[in-house]
Amino acid sequence: MYAMIYNGKKYYQHSRNRYWVRDERAADGKRKLVLLHRVIWEDAHGTIQDGRHIHHIDGCRTNNLLENLECISPGEHASIHRRKEAREGRLGYLHEAQRRALSTPEGRKRKSESVKTGWKTRKEVKKECKRCGKEFLTQAPQRKWCGQSCKFKNWWHKEKSNDPLPKDRP
């Protein structure tokens, strides 16, 4: 794991999002991730207003030079990333014709009916709950738990320890 020291504090690259972060305990004892690019901005410009985002101008999350950072509103930030991802042709963004169709009440109604039809035609599959081992039927094949209770118990156990949870344990 890579590490970096800034103002005497050690930061590491987060495994999922690649930002430089450090762990800290909040006053209430909960774990808090401190993002290096926000610390650098605050050191140079003072406290960041609530809800504002610090954006990496060149798009590289590891380039935390002050001249590569800007403080912008969440709307501006989302707009920048939507435009960038649309230019790169990433999936998930609507083509102009789709956007025009969904801007009318008839288009939205057609889309809503299409989605409802899709769910009605899905086949139910039999799955085994990863927590309690009980079999359950679902239309969503990615489901892992029979219900919210098992899902929460699985999450709670992961937060408290690193060992896998045996199925016979409450």
What's the whole-number mean pLDDT along residues 71-79? Answer: 90
Do 31 and 23 contact (CB within 8 A), yes or no?
A: yes
Helix (H/G/I), strand (E/B), else coil: 82: helix
The pLDDT assigned to 90 comes to: 58
The pLDDT assigned to 89 comes to: 60
31-46 pLDDT, tens digit each: 888 999 999 999 999 9
Rounded-to-integer distance, Cα 25 and Cα 91, Å: 38
Domain parsing of the chain, residue ranges: 3-87, 118-170
- 118-170 is classed in which CATH architecture? 2-Layer Sandwich (3.30)
Question: In terms of Cα–Cα distance, which of 101, 126, 119 is closest to 111?
Answer: 101
The pLDDT assigned to 169 comes to: 46
Token pair for residue 3? 């590490």
Does 118-170 match 3-87 at the fold level?
no
CATH level 3 topology of 3-87: Homing Intron 3 (I-Ppo) Encoded Endonuclease; Chain A (3.90.75)
More confident residue, 125 or 117: 125
Rounded-to-integer distance, Cα 132 and Cα 103, Å: 45
The pLDDT assigned to 91 comes to: 47
Looking at 5-9, 73-77, 81-85, 124-128, which range is the least confident one?
81-85
The pLDDT assigned to 144 comes to: 87
4-32 pLDDT, tens digit each: 899 999 999 888 778 899 988 888 888 88
Instruction: Give the count of beta carbons closer than 10 Å to the beta carbon of residue 36.
Output: 21
147-170 pLDDT, tens digit each: 888 887 776 665 555 555 555 444
